[in-house]
Amino acid sequence: MATGIKDKVAILGMGCSKFGERWESGAEELMVEAYLEALEDAGVETSQIQAAWFSTAFDEVNVGKGGTPLSVALRLPNIPVTHVENFCASGSEAFRGAVYAVAAGACDIALALGVEKLKDTGYGGLPAREQGTLNPLWNANGSAPGNFAQLASAYRAKHKVSRDDLKRAIAHVSVKSHANGAKNPKAHLQKPITEEMCLKAPMIAEPLGLFDCCGVSDGAACAIVTTPEIAKNLGKTDLITVKALQLALSNGLESQHNSWDGSYFHTARIAARRAYEEACIRNPRAEISMMEVHDCFSITELVTMEDLHISREGEGWKDVLDGFYDAGGRVPCQIDGGLKCFGHPIGASGLRMLYEMYLQLLGRAGPRQLASPRIGLTHNLGGSPAMNVCSVAIIGAQGA
Could you list the active site residues? 88, 344
How near is the Cβ of 114 to another protein at its closest, in Å? 25
How near is the Cβ of 210 to another protein at its closest, in Å? 10
Residue nearer to another protein on the CB measure, 264 or 342: 264
SS3 content of the chain, % helix, strand, coil (to 5): 40, 20, 40
How near is the Cβ of 387 to another protein at its closest, in Å? 8
Residue nearer to another protein on the CB measure, 3 or 259: 259
| 86, 382 contact by CB (below 8 A) | yes
In Å, how far are 48, 111, 112 from 77, measured between CA atoms?
9, 13, 15
Query: DSSP letter at 88?
Result: B
Binding site for another protein (CB under 8 A): 121-123, 125, 128, 133-134, 136-143, 145-147, 149-154, 156-157, 202-206, 208, 251-253, 255-259, 261-263, 385-386
Residue nearer to another protein on the CB measure, 206 or 277: 206
DSSP for 351-400, written as a single string? HHHHHHHHHHHTT--GGG--SS--EEEEEEEEEETTEEEEEEEEEEETT-
| 304, 265 contact by CB (below 8 A) | yes
How near is the Cβ of 164 to another protein at its closest, in Å? 15
Query: DSSP letter at 326?
Result: S
- CA dihedral 98→103→334→396, nearest 10 degrees, is -150
Residue 190 dihedral angles phi and psi, to the nearest 5°: -125, 30
Pairing mode, strands 51-55 and 81-84: parallel
How near is the Cβ of 166 to another protein at its closest, in Å? 13
Alpha-carbon Rg of the chain, whole angstroms? Answer: 20
Residue nearer to another protein on the CB measure, 156 or 176: 156
How near is the Cβ of 260 to another protein at its closest, in Å? 9
Q: Which residues contact 26 (CB under 8 A, 6 or more apart)?
A: 117
Residue nearer to another protein on the CB measure, 279 or 346: 346
3-state secondary structure of 190: coil
Residue nearer to another protein on the CB measure, 264 or 355: 264
